[in-house]
Amino acid sequence: MILVTLIISMGITLFLVSKKVNMGFSLMIGAILLALLNKRNVSDLLEIFLKTFSESTTITLAITIGMITILGYLMDQYLILDRMIISLEKMLRSAKSTILIAPAIIGTLLVTGGALMSCPVVDSLGKRLDISKDKRCAINLVFRHALYFVFPLSPTILLASQIGDFNLWDFIKLQFPIAIGMYLFGYFFYLRRCNDPNIEKLDAKSYLKTVFDFFFYASPILISILGVIVFKFPFYISLVFGILLSIIINLQDKKKEEKYDLKEPILKTIYKGIKPSMVIAILGIMVFKNVVNDMDEIYIFLNSLLDKGIPLELLIIIAGGIISFPLANTQPGIAILYPMILPLAPDYHTKLLYAMFIYTSAFMFYYISPLHMCQVLTLEYFGVKIKELYKNYMYILPLTYLVMILIYILNIFK
């Protein structure tokens, strides 16, 4: 019975998402349906909703996501990002290195249409490196997303650590080789044979200024991360410093050139940076998680499958594909599978390995989904067909997944 109700619940959720209903609202409706089909009453549901919206984990996560979207919006509108990328190429002295790193840096901002923001950078550098359009597409997407395995301000990683109840940095350390592998494979398949064009020579003084410019314009992101690592601030507090620094940079810029003046109050710009849809999505994910946590039937069903000899890893792969591919989103896979699978782990170390397996599997199905917004925007910009893009994934994605499998195998038997 629980399997049937899960399928119905997920089917309704997928249908609503396909009709452009916000992911958060869709998951809430799916969670309510799941609870009612399993004989929970209205008072049980109200209790779950009240618990979800009042618990510190949900509040902290929602505030953090809101702060991240504000920071990304300010850096985009204040043209801080553009200048950071320009100084990066001058600092690295290599178009190949810049085309590898630039999409990742732009990806840290997590703004809507972010993939489209890096397209002109990749296109310009790709032409200079004589790279075909389909490979430019793949470069924009691969180098943008490899960072998602380790970037501490990623909403998906933050969500994973909160739902999984494990240390964020333990998880990042475990997944670090996956990110490195994806970058190395990307370089090998897309950039290895490219010849760097000549770049204007700089004297020592000019080069030092370039280095200073890069770190200056990257400082809102850097201070947001360092505040957590060095001073142990909560993410949402650390992000406040990044936002303030972006505003201070803009105040100085406006004194020098009028093009940096947005002609609107700072608070209005900050308000525009808030993305309610992302916050609602987080709330929906947390509601679904708590509904699943409340159902012992799910764990009994999973254990019965395991008792029949079905490998847990196979269940993760199949479930990750069913959830994340049609939704084109990693987060629902985490929200649904973490509460089901992680309680089966016998210890903390194994729980981290299960979390990585789910995270990477859900990510891969999200990444190749035809509904993946970054992919849609990138294909549209470069005028490339999805079939041509998929040819460039043929080796790099299986190899990246293989890195995760190797980490899992080497650690699970310790």
Range 331-344 average pLDDT:
87
Contacts of 167 (CB under 8 A, 6+ apart): 161
pLDDT above 80: residue 37: yes
Distances (CA, A) of 254 to 76, 142, 257, 261, 262: 15, 36, 5, 5, 9
The residue among 249, 228, 248 whose CA lies nearest residue 238 is: 228
Half-sphere CA count of 128, side-chain side, radius 13 A: 17
Read off the pTM. Answer: 0.70
Annotated domain spans of the chain: 1-54+278-287, 60-150+196-276, 151-195+295-414
What length does the chain have? 414
> Cα Rg for the chain, rounded, in angstroms?
22
Which of 1-5, 259-263, 383-387 bottoms out in mean pLDDT, i.e. has the lowest? 1-5
* Six token digits for residue 266: 């700072």
CA dihedral sign of residues 250, 113, 27, 292: negative
Range 172-200 average pLDDT:
90
The residue among 248, 193, 245 whose CA lies nearest residue 218 is: 245
Mean pLDDT of the chain: 85
- Pair 9, 31: CB distance under 8 Å: yes
What pLDDT was estimated at residue 371?
65
pLDDT above 70: residue 113: no
Integer Cα distance of 118 and 140 in angstroms: 7
pLDDT above 60: residue 65: yes
Integer Cα distance of 344 and 268 in angstroms: 47
pLDDT above 60: residue 111: no
Integer Cα distance of 350 and 338 in angstroms: 13
Tell me: the pLDDT tens digits for 216-270? 998 988 888 788 778 878 878 888 999 999 999 999 999 888 888 888 999 999 9
More confident residue, 131 or 378: 131
φ/ψ (deg, to 5) at 336 = -90, -45
Tell me: the pLDDT tens digits for 91-102? 888 888 888 888
